[in-house]
Amino acid sequence: MKLKSLVVAAVRQSAANSRKIQSAAFCRKPLRLAGIWIVALAAMCCAAQPAHAAKVRVVTTFTDLADFTREIGGDYVEVRSLATGIEDTHGVPMKPSFVPLLNRADLIVLVGFDCEHAFLPALLEASRNPRIQLGHPGYVDCSKGVTPRDVPKSTDHSEGDVHPYGNPHYLLDPVLAKTAVQNIYNALVAVAPEHEADFTKNRDAYLAKLDAKIAGWEAILAPFKGAKFVSYHEHWPYFADRFGLVYFGTIELKPGIDPTPHHIQELITTMKSEHVPLVVREPQFPEKVPALIAKQTGATLVKLPIMPGGVPNTDTYIAEMDYIVHTVADALKK
Amino acid sequence: MTGQAQETNEVEQLKQQLRQMQENFEKAQNEQRQQINALTQKLDELSKQQQATATVTVAPTNTSAMTDRLKELDDKVDSVVEAQKKTLLSEFNPAIGFVGETIFSQQSKGSPQNGTGYPGGFDVFQRSVELNASASVDPFAKGWVVINGSADADTGETSLDVEEAALQTTSLPWDLTLTAGQFFGEFGRLSYIHDHELPFVNRPLVLDEYVGGESKTPGVQLSWLLPIEHYVNLTAGMGTQFGDSPDAIGSYRSMGAVNYFGRLSTYFDLSPDWQLEGGASWLVNPDTGNVNGETAPNGMTTLTATRRLVLDGDLKLSYVPLRNNQFQSFTWGNEVLYSDNQYLANNGGGNFNETVGAWGMYSYFTYKWSRNWSGGFLFEYTQNNQENAAQTYGYSPYLTWAISHWNQLRLQYTHTQPNAATGNQPNDAVYLQWVWIIGAHSHGWQAR
């Protein structure tokens, strides 16, 4: 408040001085006006520095992480997600409007395993917020404690846009998502230890709710153990592992590389011979090729979100997983 | 006596009977022991056979499962260890990448009449081979180097040039960032972007004319992100050279002979999918120190540059749909520059000061309709900043095929229409640009 008062006083002083601008005495002292403005700007700068507010300011890269943070943090956190839910995880636009958000954030919560490599490093650099840079406590990598799948033996670009640390789409396995919940909890407790009891209560309640849902989801998909499916991008191996399904392959030729006609034909042939009954399209990818493959193979085409908000009525992680599990089960019943 | 004899017989009979019974017992015992031994032996053999059978049927299954599980765990551990090794091996090395750029061209007019810098007719031009290296210097700064091997478009003469070698702070207070060394100073929209990142083949004519191509400057630059909720960034800097113009200073440089530049940029979310970015830039060198040497544009008047002033405004409207921006987008970019240079003129009748006001602009749009394909159109207009009556128009449709993120082909046709005052002739050109990247490459904030 004192700083804001200083700004107001400086501006008022400047305005008062401007009324005297015609006085010869003032004209002989042009540095005075400049000095006042410099003080005012410096005071504005200091006043707007992110001194600890009542709420912990959290920016997450994706909507599932925002949902977890809200569940744990409750009223003690102010959460913004860079993605709205409909974006590709590797294609969130680098909007300059994200920069002020990140500049004031106490925590940046990310998936990790290089999932956000296309946009987050540049945004973090532009944010000029040392608290949330890599290696600082405000940089919350939710992959900590998750054993990655499909770690490439080579990161040569002949393999496409590979993730050097392994497949980063572990949040589609709700059991591994619990690790992310725990990592967020740890970060919130570290930044606001005075609320630890509430964070603990909220985390436990959410994990209990999630555990109950996981049991239900496993029961729903239990009859379809061993069922094979393909998807556009390699989003689903962790999901398949969790629910006993078999991830058969991708429509993309390689990560980030569109399919060639030869690859499509080869995929259709092997899907037919292996009786693959399901084609998954993530909403951010074009429908044309997945629809063609489904038609040629007789498989059922479904559209599945990769984060909350990806399709209507999936605003929370549990709602998203509910939608995914029921959609897959319904498709496999056919 | 007879009684004693009878008792003796009975005793003997009883003894004999006992011996007989003992013998029978021992015999039966032996037989039974033999039977027991035989049965025991048989039982042992049967047990061994059963165990052997059980081993054959059960053990392999357990072993197989265990082996598979161990192999799976081994693979996982190996993969994690391998990933760690990859990180560790390059832990202290900077991220290094190469960019290669080859341009095939066909010009209808020869150089210099075409005004493009390319020779007439067919040409293959390795415009650049660029080595990039960047890394953190310490907890407070990062550094980067860009070394460019390039050939002169007209003569083919090759040269190696340090385009950038700079250090930038990462933890200054008050949202400040300081850059020092040789770098591309923030001016306008496309001046500080490397050739291969341009949305078309050649840098717009007006940027070549007024800035000198890329905004390369040896100097220092301070950037401030204003501490407000709206994105506003203010940059100011100074450098002894700005752009590709030679810095032909003499033996002493006053502070007045230094280039001072700055840029104010902001951004608006018009909707989740539509974005508007704008900026204003300025560049002044109060005493150019004969930066551009002497010129005689009309063969009448000799001009010696004495002050350089360039003002710039840029605006970019973008459609970047959140859901599928990797497959569809639209960009409309515009930049207008005004040059107000001062010259010491001599028309044979004595020296006098002359100020030449000139302006130029470019406007382009690019539409992307798939992950691999995009196309657009560039319109250009520029006045010569020493002789504003000399004007050139340019029209360039272009088509880009991004085979992958690291491999891109672009086909462009350009018609340039200079007026007579330029001394050039109308020219038709076709360019095929091939850009490839190996190693580390990331688009930073400026090239977004």
Most confident residue range from A98-102, B110-114, B291-295: A98-102
Amino acid at B268: F
Query: Judging by DSSP bridges, how do beta strands B232-239 and B216-225 pair with one another?
Result: antiparallel
Counting Cβ atoms within 10 Å, is residue B154 exposed (0-12), middle (13-18) or buried (19+)?
middle
Q: Which of residues 390-409 of B touch A (CB under 8 A)?
A: 404-406
Contact B324 A286 (CB under 8 A): yes
Interface test with B, best of A102, A151, A303, A306 (most B CBs within 10 A): A151
How far apart are the C-alpha atoms of B72 and A185, rounded to whole Å?
Answer: 31
Whole-angstrom distance, CA of residue A162 vs CA of residue A166:
8
The interface predicted TM-score (ipTM) is 0.76
Question: Between β-strands A77-81 and A56-60, what pairing exists: parallel, antiparallel or unpaired?
Answer: parallel
Using CB atoms, pick whichever of A49, A123, A125 lies closest to residue B227: A49
Residue ranges covered by each domain of chain B: 1-91, 98-439
Report the residue from A90, A133, A157 with minimal CB separation from B406: A157
- Highest mean pLDDT among A253-262, B339-348, B374-383 belongs to B374-383
Taking an 8 Å cut-off on Cβ atoms, the answer to whether B269 and A97 are in contact is yes
**Of B88, B85, B122, which Cα lies nearest the Cα of B107?**
B122
At B83 the three-state DSSP class reads helix
pLDDT in tens, A178-213: 999 999 999 999 999 999 999 999 999 999 999 999
Is B85's Cβ below 8 Å from some Cβ in A?
A: no
Please name which of A23, A18, A108 lies closest in space to residue A66, comparing C-alpha atoms. Answer: A108
Instruction: Tell me, yes or no, if B76 comes closer than 8 A to chain A by beta carbon.
Output: yes
Nearest to B191 by CA among B337, B381, B408, B390: B337
Contact B323 A284 (CB under 8 A): yes
| Paired residues of B437 in beta bridges | B99
Residue A271: count of CB within 10 angstroms of its CB: 24
Q: Return the number of CB contacts < 8 Å for A and B.
A: 108
Asked whether B417 and B392 are in contact (CB, 8 A), the reply is yes
Q: Which of B383, B400, B401 is nearest to B392 (CA)?
A: B383
Q: Quick one: A281 exposed, middle or buried, by C-beta within 10 A (0-12, 13-18, 19+)?
A: buried
A94–chain B nearest CA distance, Å: 7
Confirm if B215 and B187 have CB atoms less than 8 A apart. Answer: yes
C-alpha separations of A168 from A69, A187, B413 in Å:
19, 20, 42
Q: Judge: B174–A45 Cβ closer than 8 Å, yes or no.
A: yes
Q: Report residue B361: phi and psi, to 5°.
A: -160, 165
Which of A93, A100, A125 is opposite residue B325, by nearest beta carbon?
Answer: A93
Residue B342 — φ and ψ, nearest 5°? -110, 145
Under a CB-based contact definition with an 8 Å cutoff, are residues A136 and A130 in contact? Answer: yes
pLDDT band at A302 (very low <50, low <70, confident <90, very high): very high
Mean pLDDT score, B203-219: 91
Between CA B368 and CA B375 the distance in angstroms is: 6
A-chain CB neighbours of B82 within 8 Å are 151, 153
| Nearest alpha-carbon partner for A82 in A114, A58, A105, A60 | A60
Closest chain B residue to A123, measured at CA = B445
What number of other Cβ atoms are within 10 A of residue B9's Cβ?
A: 10
Written as six digits, the tokens of B241 are 């050279």
**Pairing of the two strands B294-295 and A246-250:** unpaired
Confidence of residue B23 (pLDDT cuts 50, 70, 90): confident
The beta strands (E) that lie in B13-120 are given as 95-107
- Of A193, A290, A180, give the one whose Cα is nearest residue A238: A180
Beta-strand runs (E) in B296-350 = 302-319, 329-346
Lowest mean per-residue pLDDT among A295-304, B217-226, B301-310: B301-310
Taking Cα atoms as reference points, which of B204, B196, B292, B190 lies closest to residue B248? B292
Which residue matches tokens 């990655």? A148
Q: What is the C-alpha to C-alpha distance for residues B85 and A86, in angstroms, rounded to an integer?
A: 36
Q: How far is B149 from chain A (nearest CA, A)?
A: 24
Which residues of chain A make contact with B406, given a CB cutoff of 8 A?
157
The predicted pLDDT at position B54 comes to 44
Interatomic CA distance for residues B203 and A281, integer angstroms: 40
For the CA atoms of B6, B10, B16, B17, the dihedral, rounded to the nearest 10 degrees, stands at: 150
Is B445–A123 a contact, with Cβ atoms under 8 angstroms apart?
yes
Distances (CA, A) of A285 to A231, A304, B319, B327: 10, 11, 18, 8
Q: Read off the pLDDT band of B306 (50, 70, 90).
A: confident
Instruction: Report the distance separating Cα A132 and Cα A124, nearest Å.
Output: 8
> What digits encode the pLDDT tens for the residues B103-159?
999 988 887 777 777 788 888 888 888 899 988 888 889 999 999 887 776 676 778
Residues of A in contact with B230 (CB under 8 A): 97, 100
Are B432 and B410 in contact by the 8 Å Cβ rule? The answer is: yes
Would the pLDDT of B277 be above 70?
yes
Greater pLDDT, A16 or A216: A216
For A61-73, what is each residue's pLDDT tens digit?
999 999 999 999 9
Closest CA to A228 of A270, A263, A200, A264: A270
Q: Do A284 and B230 touch (CB under 8 A)?
A: no
CB contact under 8 A, B174 and A147: no
Q: Cα separation of B100 and A120, whole Å?
A: 26
Residue type, A278: L
> Among all residues of chain B, which has the CA nearest to that of A47?
B227
Topology given in CATH for the domain delimited by B98-439: Porin (2.40.160)
Band of the pLDDT at B181, cuts 50, 70, 90? very high
Q: What strand order describes the sheet that includes A228-231?
A: A246-250, A228-231, A278-281, A300-303
Token reading at A287: 């429908």
In DSSP terms, B302 is beta-bridged to B346
User: Residue A100 and residue B229: Cβ atoms within 8 Å?
Assistant: yes
Per-residue confidence (pLDDT) for residue B401, from 0 to 100 = 96
Kindly give, in sequence order, each residue whose CB lies less than 8 Å from that of residue A290, ignoring residues fewer than 6 positions away.
Answer: A232, A251, A279, A280, A281, A301
Angle at B302 between CA B301 and CA B305, to 5 degrees: 125
Higher pLDDT, B192 or A155: B192
User: With an 8 Å Cβ cutoff, are B326 and A91 in contact?
Assistant: yes
Q: Cβ contacts of residue A262 below 8 Å, gap of 6+?
A: none
Confidence band for B402, pLDDT divided at 50, 70 and 90: very high
Looking up tokens 């004495």 gives B306
Q: How far is CA B236 from CA A165, B127, B284, B410, in A?
A: 39, 31, 12, 35
Taking alpha carbons only, the member of A88, A79, A133 closest to residue A115 is: A88
Q: How many Cβ atoms sit within 10 Å of the Cβ of residue B179?
A: 23
Interface of B with A in 326-385 (CB under 8 A): 326-327, 370-372
Tokens (6 digits) for B394: 């340019």
B404–A257 CB contact, under 8 Å: yes
pTM, two decimal places: 0.77
- Contact at CB, A125 and B170, closer than 8 angstroms: yes
CA distance B436 to chain A (A): 12
Q: Any idea which residue has 């400049």 for tokens?
A: A34
